[in-house]
Structure 1
Amino acid sequence: MNENVLNQTAKAMVADGRGILAADESTGTIQKRLSSINVENTEAHRQTYRDMLFTTPGFEQHTSGVILFEETLFQKALDGTPFPQLLASKGVIPGIKVDKGAKALPGAPGELVTEGLDGLRERLAKYHEAGARFAKWRAVITIGDGIPSDYCIHTNAHALARYAALCQEAGIVPIVEPEVLMDADNTLEVCEDVTRRTLEAVFIELDKQRVLLEGMILKPNMVISGKKCAVQADRQTVAEATVRTLKRHVPAAVPGIAFLSGGQSDIDATAHLDAMNKIGNLPWKLTFSYGRALQAAALKAWGGSDVDAGRKAHLHRAHMNGLAAAGKWNESLESAV
């Protein structure tokens, strides 16, 4: 493990005004995306869609890295250039999703644990050779009646740390993603408490398993009201609660925090990030690692054929989030397209 290389890569992933495009949808997930625009889910269509995203002129000004699905890591762009090589030529770091998805946690109804540790060391060596310099593993924490249990939080934290240690051994920066879902009817205060418990457990495990904090990126949820909650916290409240929770539980040694969007609207995901950065006095960089909140507009505009419209929509969202990562966004910029 070269600690300096890991640290330099991690810092590049959260460079000023840049964030991470999550384009790592599994074949099943991208099926839903393509179906929404009546495009058949074939390998050729998946390749064409991601080629449109990755060849958007200027997106690299706002994008430091792209998380790829395994299929995409080994695919080529339409001009024949391997996707990792295409991204690297633009100064964008190629990354790879390595987990095998969340499955039912034994003995814990309604709770999930992420699988994929078996054979991971060998897969990471293959991914590094193909050009990946960071990876992602998503743990899922569900809020519900009597859950999450300590058992669920601990089991996922342990797996995240094992994954992170294996990544660093392979010279790959781990994105550690403990996602507290926002789908229930819980208040912001409940989300804050569950996020606190989760982050506390994750960093205890990372320490036990000797993960270099300077060589990783955290990808957490924001502290937010559940989608079904009657009272939705305003943007400033979300920003303040999220920063407060992170300051209490994320060591300053971590170079950066790249948020997931968690099903928020495009504008809310951008506005919340901007509001946090406007708070200032932060020990780590705060940026984005969005999937749907970067891609939805581009997917719709592309519609399976209009590449220029798709690229324009992609560039706009990347630009808006790049401004938010610097605390320089405001909503009037959204209409100035």
Structure 2
Amino acid sequence: MDIQKLIDTAKALVADNKGLLAMDESYPTCNKRFAKLGIPETAELRRDYREMIVTTAGLNESISGAILFDETVHQQLKDGSSFVNVLTDNGIIPGIKVDGGKVAMAGHPGEKITEGLDNLRDRLTEYAKMGLRFAKWRAVITIGKGIPTQACIEANAHALARYAVLCQEVGIVPIVEPEVLMDGDHTMERCFEVTEQVLHTVFNQLYTQGVVLEGMILKPNMIVPGLACSKQESVAEVADATIKCLLRTVPAAVPGIAFLSGGQSSQLASARLNAMNVRFKSELPWELSFSFGRAIQQPALDIWLGKEKNVPEAQKALYQQAVFNLAARQGEYMEKTDK
């Protein structure tokens, strides 16, 4: 394990006010988004869509790293170039989603466990040889009647920690993503309570497994009410609650926190990140960044619609959303969008 290499990569992922672009949707997720817009659900169109993303001029001005799906790393652009090489040549660090997705957790109705540890060491070794420098593993925690249970939280935290140490063993920076879902009618206070419990458990497991905290990135949810909750707090209230929770749970050794968007709109995710950086940036031990998927991609997808003629306009929209989040990291998002 080259600890300094891990540290350098982790720092680079959150440097210069840039963030991560999550373009690692699985087959079902990507196909579902295509279906909503009437785009044929084919491997070739998924490849075309991702080529449109990685060939967007100037994307590296705002994006430090891109999370790919296994299908994508084995595909090529129309000119025969690999996705990994195109990203690297453009100054964007290539990463990979390595979890096997969530399944029902035995004995725990309504709860999920993420799979994918089988053969993970071998897969990570191959990915490292291909030039991938970081990875991502997502665990999901659902808030509902009587859940989450401590058993579910601990099982997912243990898997996250085992994944993380396997990544570091081969020189890949782990993105640790414990997501408390927005689905439901729970309050912001309940989200705070559960997220605090989850993050304490996750970092306990990371410590137990010997993960080098300086060589990882945390990808958490923001502290927000459920989508169906009657009370939706202000941007400033979400920012305050999120930072309060993170200060209680995330060690200062972690170089960066890259928030997931988790179903938030592009505008709301950026506004909340902006508020955190406006109010707290100078006081925090870690960088506050983003690892957004839909919150960056959706406007471009709405324009592209699977048609080659729409690529230039879609790329403009993608570039603009990335710039907005660069501004949010600097606490300048509202000023940018007002112009």
The two structures share one fold, judged by TM-score above 0.5 = yes
**Long gaps (5+) in structure 2:** none
Question: What CA RMSD, in Å, does the superposition of the two structures yield over aligned residues?
Answer: 0.8
Which residue pairs with 1:286 in the alignment? 288
Counterpart selection for 1:333 from 327, 332, 336: 336
Q: Which amino acid aligns with 2:21?
A: L
Which residue pairs with 2:323 in the alignment? 319
Q: What is the deviation of 1:335?
A: 5.9
Q: Which amino acid aligns with 1:31?
A: N
Alignment partners' CA distance in 2, 1:148 and 1:59: 38
Alpha carbons 1:68, 1:97 under 8 Å: kept: yes
Asked if residue 107 in structure 1 is aligned to residue 107 in structure 2, the reply is: yes
Which residue pairs with 2:81 in the alignment? 81
Residue by residue, what CA displacement relative to the aligned partner does 1:208-230 show, whole Å, maximum 9, x if unpaired? 00000000000000000100100
Which residue pairs with 1:170 in the alignment? 170
Alignment partners' CA distance in 1, 2:104 and 2:45: 31
Alignment partners' CA distance in 2, 1:312 and 1:277: 26
Alpha carbons 1:94, 1:133 under 8 Å: kept: yes
Q: Which amino acid aligns with 1:4?
A: Q
Which residue pairs with 1:263 in the alignment? 263
Alpha carbons 2:111, 2:148 under 8 Å: kept: yes
Which residue pairs with 1:231 in the alignment? 231
Q: What is the deviation of 1:298?
A: 0.5
State the number of aligned residues.
Answer: 335
Counterpart selection for 2:301 from 299, 302, 324: 299
Structure 2 residue matching 1:107: 3-state secondary structure: coil
The 5 A counterparts of 1:51-130 are 51-130=51-130
Which residue pairs with 1:31 in the alignment? 31
Alignment partners' CA distance in 2, 1:216 and 1:205: 14
Q: Which amino acid aligns with 1:334?
A: T
Alignment partners' CA distance in 2, 1:74 and 1:240: 42
Alpha carbons 1:16, 1:326 under 8 Å: kept: no
Residue by residue, what CA displacement relative to the aligned partner does 1:22-71 show, whole Å, maximum 9, x if unpaired? 00000111001111221111111111100111111001100000000001
Which residue pairs with 2:253 in the alignment? 253
Alignment partners' CA distance in 2, 1:189 and 1:165: 32
Q: Which amino acid aligns with 2:174?
A: P
Structure 2 residue matching 1:67: 3-state secondary structure: strand
Alpha carbons 1:7, 1:215 under 8 Å: kept: yes
Residue by residue, what CA displacement relative to the aligned partner does 1:142-174 show, whole Å, maximum 9, x if unpaired? 000011000000000000000000000011000
**Long gaps (5+) in structure 1:** none
Alignment partners' CA distance in 2, 1:17 and 1:156: 30
Structure 1 residue matching 2:333: 3-state secondary structure: coil
The 5 A counterparts of 1:146-185 are 146-185=146-185
Structure 2 residue matching 1:245: 3-state secondary structure: helix
Alignment partners' CA distance in 2, 1:333 and 1:304: 29
Q: Which amino acid aligns with 1:271?
A: A
Q: Which amino acid aligns with 1:82?
A: S
Q: Which runs of at least 4 in structure 1 moved beyond 2 Å after TM superposition? A: 332-336
Alpha carbons 1:113, 1:140 under 8 Å: kept: yes
Q: What is the deviation of 1:16?
A: 2.1
Alpha carbons 2:22, 2:67 under 8 Å: kept: yes
Alpha carbons 2:327, 2:336 under 8 Å: kept: no
Q: Structure 1 residues 62-71 or 279-288, which shifts more?
A: 279-288
Which residue pairs with 2:204 in the alignment? 204
* Structure 2 length-normalised TM: 0.98
Structure 2 residue matching 1:136: 3-state secondary structure: strand
Residue by residue, what CA displacement relative to the aligned partner does 1:281-316 show, whole Å, maximum 9, x if unpaired? 111001110011111000011121200011011001
Q: Which amino acid aligns with 1:184?
A: G
Decide whether aligned partners of structure 1 residues 129 and 264 sit closer, same or farther in structure 2, where only a CA change above 3 A counts. Answer: same
Q: Which amino acid aligns with 2:82?
A: P
Q: Which amino acid aligns with 2:142?
A: T
Q: Which amino acid aligns with 2:300?
A: A
